[in-house]
Amino acid sequence: MSRRLNRHYQMKRKDFLKAAGLGLAGSLVGLNACSPKLKRQSVILVTMDTTRKDHLGCYGYSLPTSPNLDRFAGDAIVFEDCYSTSNVTLTSHASIFTGLYPHNHGVLGQEHLLPPEITALGNILGQCGYDTAAITSANHLNARTLGNGFQEFYAPQEIERPAEQTTSVAIDFLESAKRNKRPLFLWLHYWDPHWPYVPPEPYSNMFFQGNVTEERLRFITHEVGKGYELAGLQYTREELEQRFVLEKLDENDRKALISQYDGEIAYMDYHIGRFLAALSSTGFYDNSIIAFMSDHGESFFENDADGLRHGFIYEPVVRIPLLVRRSGIKGTRVKGFVQNIDVAPTFLKWLGLQSPELDGKDLDPLVSNDTQIREHIVLMRDGARIVAIVHGKHKMVQLAGRRQEPLPIPDSWKSEAQQLPRIVFRPPPPPKWRYEESRGIAMYCWDCPPRCGDRIENYVVEILTERTPRPGHVYAFEEIPKDRKRQFVFFYLRIKRSWNTVSVVFPTYLRVVGKDKEGKAVASSDIVPVELDSPLGHETKLFDLSVDPDERYNIAAQRPEVLRDLESRLGDYGNKCLESIEHGAAVLSGTGHVPSGMSNEDVSRLRALGYAH
């Protein structure tokens, strides 16, 4: 291998085959499933991060952002109605490789790792004699987070790697791989369309629109996007406006921003052209199943609640391109619901391999005779707190696992509130609670804590949680040392993000309690009821995508019969997602909010990309 490959992780082939047979028997196909021994096609899977389908020429975009992909589309099957399972890079990729919904593979947020016992496409192909390799452009996509089944993994040491460098690594790899007699499974990942949008020349000026200065352009591509990515993490909107920038851009700014995003796609597409040429020169193009797709899209204020980037599960974020080339079928466009979980079982079918039981479906009936394989699409927002279903022209979005009645207040809370010295703890004027980015955020202020001498060691914000660790459990959200002088106390209710896995389903109760050295309550506030006052709240939203593609008008009250039908179809999907995240990889550690199995290095990578703080 060339030195240019700069491998982040590699497992020797014999060690991989030995490991592949361990702990996977329940779902991994056995070696006998690979018989009869036929000359199999290679599989080349290219994922383009954050790429909207409607910004590609082959999906009708008016600007020439993707000439190489467009030419490839003329030689491929173009799926018109493909959806991701989620708005998150790791979650979506895990679904692509495993053929499973997020609640079944366990990667429900950016901070999760794909569990090693989960079977991925690379596990099956590797056991059937394939060489398997991954080349990624973001260093949080590595052998620890998504390494299942990959014998070789080339992730960048730096935070991200531009398409030019990633393609050079891929070309070197193909030159070496062509000498092997075994078929190849290669995953190639491009990061460039992901925020911040900073395409190199000449792509930065290729589609430039809007009368903005260079300084203003940098401001809206770097700082504004940063604010929208962080909204709903650790910060309230007020804190974000102080720390970063969270503002809605005018149309002039928006055009300039989109021009840079389009420039990133065009830059990536140029290097995709280099990669396609290398596939041809090395003989892989005509002897492989080749697919291009994205993990999720991007939002540019089409829906006011979504804002900028990909924080929600509106259509621009979850509708994705999927272009697949296989021998015998060229230049075909296919309509009908398809999801990224369908890629793995379809590839296995086309390769003549047995598939484990998966959530994904074989696309062959849809491609061959237009037989629809899905009646609807189900979606999950990062953290499993919001779910959606698309059926026909309607889409329903709702909170997962809604509950109407509050939990019972513990007797100890009642007695302590009556008998102990009182902490004056009052809410600010309404709205007390807001819903931002899958997370309930509260601001309360407290006045004049009681003078209890040296008995109080700290003040603790406690809230009743529904599921984790157990129903009615009292969870301490924030400890405030007695020497910390803050009039305003910010704390966050668990609706999943950051590194905390406590689940709060509204309505519930909260209090502030002062504790002594032994942890005994020695002062208590009143018991405060918690309600959700938010853009979503308890409200289920229903959209008619045929007349409202930007999902701005909630018609749930006007179409109750459609709402009932979609709720019936969605079933308990929301509860399954909540249960999965509560038993998943991320747990609250004693030293900070870091998920189990994720190293400090992994956390640093996410922070550098704007996903954790």
Locate the DSSP E strands across 95-224: 131-135, 152-154, 184-190
Per-residue pLDDT band at 304 (split at 50, 70, 90): low
Burial label for 484, CB within 10 Å (0-12, 13-18, 19+), is: exposed
For residues 70 and 58, the answer to whether their CB atoms sit within 8 Å is yes
Task: Indicate the residue among 474, 497, 530 that finishes a domain.
Answer: 530
190-231: per-residue pLDDT in tens?
A: 999 998 888 999 999 899 876 788 777 877 776 665 544 444
Query: Which pLDDT does position 210 carry in this prediction?
Result: 67
Tell me the pLDDT band of 409, cut-offs 50, 70 and 90: confident
Domain hosting 438: range is 411-530
The tokens for 503 are 């689940």
What are residue 339's DSSP bridge partners? 83
Indicate whether 177 pLDDT > 70.
yes
Residues 327 and 198 in one domain: yes
Contact partners, residue 11, CB within 8 Å, separation at least 6: 19, 150, 151, 152
Q: Is residue 519 over pLDDT 80? A: yes
Mean pLDDT for 590-602 is: 40
DSSP secondary structure letter of residue 483: T
pLDDT(23) > 80 = no
pTM: 0.76
Contact 525, 512 (CB under 8 A): yes
Q: What average pLDDT does range 416-421 have in this prediction? A: 90
Q: What's at 558, amino acid-wise?
A: Q
User: What number is the average pLDDT over the span 558-587?
Assistant: 76
In-domain check, residue 489: yes
Residue 581 reports pLDDT greater than 80: no
Q: Average pLDDT, stretch 275-303?
A: 93
CATH number assigned to the domain comprising residue 392: 3.30.1120.10
Per the structure block, which two tokens stand in for 97?
């490789």
Answer with the one of 322, 355, 374 that is the final residue of a domain: 374
Q: What is the CATH number of the domain that holds 272?
A: 3.40.720.10
Q: Which has more pLDDT, 499 or 124?
A: 124
pLDDT at 206: 93
Check whether residue 570 and residue 464 sit in a common domain. no
When pLDDT is cut at 50, 70 and 90, the band that residue 137 belongs to is very high
Q: Are residues 361 and 502 in the same domain?
A: no
Least confident of 135-144, 240-249, 279-288: 240-249
Query: Helix %, strand %, coil % for the chain, to 5?
Result: 30, 25, 45
Confidence of residue 489 (pLDDT cuts 50, 70, 90): very low
> Does 340 lie in the same domain as 419?
no
360 and 311 within one domain: yes
Q: Are residues 502 and 369 in the same domain?
A: no
Q: Which residue has the tokens 């004027």?
A: 429
Between residues 5 and 372, the one the model is more confident about: 372
Q: Is 235 part of any domain?
A: no
pLDDT bracket for residue 604 (50, 70, 90): low
> Is residue 432 over pLDDT 60?
no
Q: Does 536 have pLDDT greater than 60? A: no
What is residue 334's predicted lDDT score, i.e. its pLDDT?
Answer: 95
How high is the pLDDT of residue 460?
A: 77
Is there a single domain that holds both residue 284 and residue 191? yes
Mean pLDDT for the chain? 76
pLDDT > 90 in the chain, percent: 43
Q: Which residues contact 302 (CB under 8 A, 6 or more apart)?
A: 314, 315, 316, 550, 551
Whose structure tokens read 């309505």? 507
Task: Determine the Cα–Cα distance for residues 93 and 103; give it in Å rounded to an integer.
Answer: 14
Residues 6 or more apart whose CB falls under 8 angstroms from that of 603 comprise: 111, 594, 612
Whether residue 318 is predicted with pLDDT greater than 90 in this model: the reply is yes
Which pLDDT belongs to residue 267?
Answer: 98
CATH number (domain holding residue 455)? 2.60.40.10
552: confidence class by pLDDT, cuts 50, 70, 90: confident
| pLDDT tens digits along 524-534 | 888 877 665 44
User: Span 368-385, mean pLDDT?
Assistant: 85
- 394 and 496 in a single domain? The answer is no
Q: 558 and 477 in one domain?
A: no
More confident residue, 133 or 599: 133
In a domain, 590, yes or no: no
Residues 519 and 560 in one domain: no
Token pair 């052998």: residue = 143
Arithmetic mean of pLDDT, 132-159: 93
Q: Residue 397 above 70 pLDDT?
A: yes
Chain center to CA of 381: 7
Q: Is pLDDT above 50 for 349?
A: yes
Residue 591: inside a domain = no
- Give me the pLDDT at residue 296, please: 94
Q: Residue 420: inside a domain, yes or no? A: yes
Domain count, the chain: 3
Q: How far is residue 368 from each of residues 79, 329, 371, 377, 507, measured CA to CA in Å?
A: 13, 9, 8, 21, 50
| Residue bearing the bigger pLDDT, 62 or 398 | 62
Report the residue count for the chain.
Answer: 613
Same domain (yes/no): 346, 390: no
Please check whether residue 8 lies inside any domain of the structure.
yes
pLDDT, position 494? 36
Question: What is the phi/psi pair of residue 18, to 5°?
Answer: -65, -45
Structural contact between residues 311 and 228, judged by C-beta atoms closer than 8 angstroms:
yes
**Cβ neighbours of residue 195 under 8 Å, at least 6 residues apart?**
50, 221, 225, 229, 298, 309, 610
Residue 320 and residue 435 in one domain: no
| Angle at the Cα of 314 from the Cα atoms of 296 and 71, rounded to 5 degrees | 40
- Measure the CA–CA gap between 468 and 579, rounded to whole angstroms: 9
Distance, in Å, from the CA atom of 506 to the CA atom of 503, rounded to the nearest integer, reads: 10
End-to-end CA gap in the chain: 37
Distance CA 613, CA 607 (A): 6
- The pLDDT-based confidence of 377 (bands split at 50, 70, 90) is very high
Q: What is the pLDDT of residue 180?
A: 87
The confidence score (pLDDT) of residue 404 equals 52
Better-predicted residue by pLDDT, 127 or 30: 127
Is pLDDT above 60 for 566? yes
Inform me whether the pLDDT recorded for 359 exceeds 60. Answer: yes
Is residue 165, in this structure, part of any structural domain at all?
Answer: yes
Task: Flag whether 230 is in a domain.
Answer: no
Give 112-121 pLDDT, tens digit per residue: 788 888 999 9
Most confident of 16-20, 267-271, 436-440, 490-494: 267-271
